[in-house]
């Protein structure tokens, strides 16, 4: 029996059969190494990146142990961001869809507390949430973890980076001492090692070589003379290759906003993504980038986690990352799914030591290349082909993507080809339309009805 076949695991037959329907034929390296100890209820620390299949690694562990007849919270998964928590919950639901009556609940900040209270009263087996909100429910007594079997810390390094250490400690206080603890992290700073020592029992440590395909990602490095040249270099790189979707990484929140503002002032369509944004603005920013009506997203590593976008044309490191693993993770976001990606890194003399370290880590020589010609700055910047329309009706008003598409493309409407991605939230929806079709699209939505009602519509600029 192959060591990477799921059949080597002794999973419940319903879980096993469902894997085949999901198209999961063999285990990914992280699954092959971590699932055997996870299924033996051992504590595991695994170094794994997004895309490695880590969610199924712990998800299958939780589902195998689950006693669906006991309607108590048996597993808790903590994630740094709401987007990641949503993705994790979605994956667990998919993996567990053969289990009748299973309830997986997300508890994240930025969502209605009252609705969560109602859901908790109905009970749940598995909770996936962000630390702040989970701790709030524990403190107020609406969530109880007395029957918890397994605690998962997903992207533990990011949770610590975001300052959740005390919140995590407070949550762990509410869990039984006898439990399985699984910790997944892309990097292993000393803080992680010390938290692992405190909260885990004889954990097995698993490391899997980073799985990104570096051959499809072309890396370019540019040494800048001084700090004033950094933003110029960024403008030149963007203006030269004019990528449709670029993620620019900064090391601090403040810098993301400053860089986005500068780019906007030169006519680029750029937005900042960082942890201090209000939830609504954050949602809008993510939507506008995902639907290609914003071409540049300037983000910190923490904020970019959970960003679920598969086809980035370019990643630009405005500042090189502090750690080599983070660098590899950043550039791994481009060139996915067989697409060719470009990764550019700017660095100053002061940051040269990080370049030397990275060259060592990657085992390859790194040389600075000349920047595109400065006269490019005189050329007009480029704009995205799409723009976003916001509709003040969403899931609660029973608005569905098909309704929006139907309203836009009906009589005197725009063509289906001119409609891009549609995202529906609780009380609002966003639809991307071709820039040239925005006026008729707006008119159609304003005049027409969705679910028999008129909704306010506006273009987001």
Task: Write down the least CB distance from residue 365 to ligand AMP, Å.
Answer: 31
Q: Does 149 bind ligand AMP (CB under 6 A)?
A: no
- Judged by CB under 6 A, the residue of 55, 150, 219, 345 near ligand AMP is 55
> How many Å apart are CA 351 and CA 90, to the nearest integer?
40
Q: Which residue's CB comes closest to ligand AMP?
A: 55
> How many Å apart are CA 45 and CA 292, to the nearest integer?
37
φ and ψ at 50, to 5 degrees? -60, 135
Q: 41 near 180, Cβ under 8 Å?
A: yes
Q: Encoding tokens for residue 377?
A: 């700055």
Task: Write down the least CB distance from residue 211 to ligand AMP, Å.
Answer: 9
> How many Å apart are CA 248 and CA 318, to the nearest integer?
6
Task: Write down the least CB distance from residue 461 to ligand AMP, Å.
Answer: 33
Judged by CB under 6 A, the stretch of 20-28, 118-126, 159-167, 402-410 that binds ligand AMP is 20-28
Residues binding ligand AMP: what is the number (CB under 6 A)?
Answer: 12
Q: Within positions 80 to 99, which residues make up the interface with ligand AMP, using CB under 6 A?
A: 91
Q: 76 near 134, Cβ under 8 Å?
A: yes
Q: Does 50 bind ligand AMP (CB under 6 A)?
A: yes
Task: Write down the least CB distance from residue 28 to ligand AMP, Å.
Answer: 5
Q: Does 223 bind ligand AMP (CB under 6 A)?
A: no
Judged by CB under 6 A, the stretch of 23-31, 195-203, 279-287, 293-301 that binds ligand AMP is 23-31
- Judged by CB under 6 A, the residue of 15, 32, 46, 56 near ligand AMP is 56
Q: Does 28 bind ligand AMP (CB under 6 A)?
A: yes
Judged by CB under 6 A, the stretch of 47-55, 174-182, 190-198, 329-337 that binds ligand AMP is 47-55
Task: Write down the least CB distance from residue 193 to ligand AMP, Å.
Answer: 23
- Judged by CB under 6 A, the residue of 9, 11, 15, 31 near ligand AMP is 31
Pick 78 or 296: Cβ nearer ligand AMP:
78
Q: Encoding tokens for residue 86?
A: 């949503």
* Residue-by-residue DSSP string for 224-255: -SSTHHHHHHHHHHHHHH--SSEEEE-SSHHH
Q: 125 near 74, Cβ under 8 Å?
A: yes
Task: Write down the least CB distance from residue 78 to ligand AMP, Å.
Answer: 15
φ and ψ at 314, to 5 degrees? -150, 150
Q: Does 200 bind ligand AMP (CB under 6 A)?
A: no
Which of 327, 326, 247, 338 has its CA nearest to residue 290? 247
> How many Å apart are CA 109 and CA 132, to the nearest integer?
7
Q: Does 51 bind ligand AMP (CB under 6 A)?
A: yes
Pick 29 or 372: Cβ nearer ligand AMP:
29
Q: Does 75 bind ligand AMP (CB under 6 A)?
A: no
- Who contacts 135 (Cβ-Cβ below 8 Å, separation ≥6)? 167, 170, 171
- Judged by CB under 6 A, the residue of 24, 221, 347, 430 near ligand AMP is 24
Q: Does 237 bind ligand AMP (CB under 6 A)?
A: no
Q: Does 27 bind ligand AMP (CB under 6 A)?
A: yes
Which of 215, 184, 156, 170 has its CA nearest to residue 62? 184
Task: Write down the least CB distance from residue 48 to ligand AMP, Å.
Answer: 7
> How many Å apart are CA 36 and CA 57, to the nearest integer?
10
- Judged by CB under 6 A, the residue of 42, 54, 82, 223 near ligand AMP is 54
Task: Write down the least CB distance from residue 198 to ligand AMP, Å.
Answer: 26
Task: Write down the least CB distance from residue 448 to ligand AMP, Å.
Answer: 36
Pick 51 or 132: Cβ nearer ligand AMP:
51
User: Which parts of 96-227 fold into alpha helices (H)?
Assistant: 113-122, 131-139, 156-161, 165-173, 190-199
- Helices then strands, each counted (H, E), the chain: 17, 17
Task: Write down the least CB distance from residue 208 to ligand AMP, Å.
Answer: 11
Output the CA–CA distances (angstroms, integers) from residue 34 to 53, 178, 181, 182, 251, in the order listed: 11, 20, 13, 10, 32
- Who contacts 145 (Cβ-Cβ below 8 Å, separation ≥6)? 73, 76, 138, 174, 175, 176
- Judged by CB under 6 A, the residue of 52, 106, 291, 388 near ligand AMP is 52
Q: Which residues bind ligand AMP (CB under 6 A)?
A: 24, 27-28, 31, 50-56, 91
């Amino acid at each position: 029996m192959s060591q990477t076949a799921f059949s080597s695991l002794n999973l419940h037959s319903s879980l096993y059969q469902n894997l085949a329907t999901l198209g999961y034929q063999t285990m990914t390296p992280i699954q092959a190494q971590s699932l055997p100890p996870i299924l033996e209820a051992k504590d595991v620390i695994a170094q794994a990146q997004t895309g490695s299949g880590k969610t199924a690694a712990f998800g299958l562990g939780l589902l195998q142990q689950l006693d669906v007849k006991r309607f108590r919270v048996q597993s808790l998964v903590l994630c740094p961001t709401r987007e990641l928590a949503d993705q994790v919950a979605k994956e667990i639901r998919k993996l567990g869809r053969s289990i009748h009556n299973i309830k997986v609940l997300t508890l994240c900040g930025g969502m209605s507390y009252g609705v969560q209270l109602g859901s908790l009263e109905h009970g749940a087996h598995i909770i996936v949430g962000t630390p702040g909100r989970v701790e709030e429910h524990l403190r107020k007594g609406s969530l109880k973890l007395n029957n918890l079997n397994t605690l998962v810390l997903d992207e533990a390094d990011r949770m610590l980076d975001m300052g959740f250490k005390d919140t995590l400690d407070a949550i762990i206080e509410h869990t039984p001492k006898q439990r399985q603890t699984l910790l997944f992290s892309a990097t292993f700073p000393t803080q992680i090692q010390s938290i692992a020592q405190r909260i885990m029992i004889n954990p097995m440590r698993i490391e899997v070589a980073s799985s990104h395909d570096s051959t499809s990602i072309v890396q370019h490095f540019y040494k800048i003379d001084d700090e004033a040249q950094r933003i110029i270099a960024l403008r030149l790189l963007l203006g030269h290759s004019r990528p449709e979707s670029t993620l620019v990484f900064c090391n601090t929140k403040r810098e993301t906003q400053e860089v986005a503002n500068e780019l906007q002032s030169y006519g680029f369509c750029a937005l900042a993504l960082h942890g201090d944004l209000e939830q609504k603005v954050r949602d809008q920013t993510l939507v506008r980038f995902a639907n290609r009506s914003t071409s540049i997203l300037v983000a910190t590593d923490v904020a970019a986690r959970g960003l679920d976008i598969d086809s980035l044309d370019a990643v630009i490191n405005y500042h090189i990352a502090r750690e080599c693993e983070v660098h590899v993770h950043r550039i791994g976001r481009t060139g996915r799914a067989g697409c060719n990606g470009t990764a550019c890194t700017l660095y100053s003399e002061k940051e040269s030591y990080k370049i030397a370290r990275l060259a060592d880590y990657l085992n390859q020589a790194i040389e600075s290349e000349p920047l595109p010609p400065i006269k490019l700055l005189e050329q007009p910047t480029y704009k995205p082909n799409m723009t976003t329309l916001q509709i003040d009706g969403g899931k609660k008003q029973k608005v569905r993507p098909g309704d929006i598409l139907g309203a836009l493309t009906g009589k005197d409407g725009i063509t289906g080809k001119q409609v891009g991605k549609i995202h529906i939230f609780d009380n609002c929806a966003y639809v991307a339309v071709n820039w040239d079709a925005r006026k008729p699209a707006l008119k159609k939505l304003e005049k027409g009805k969705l679910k028999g009602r008129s909704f306010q519509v506006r273009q987001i600029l």
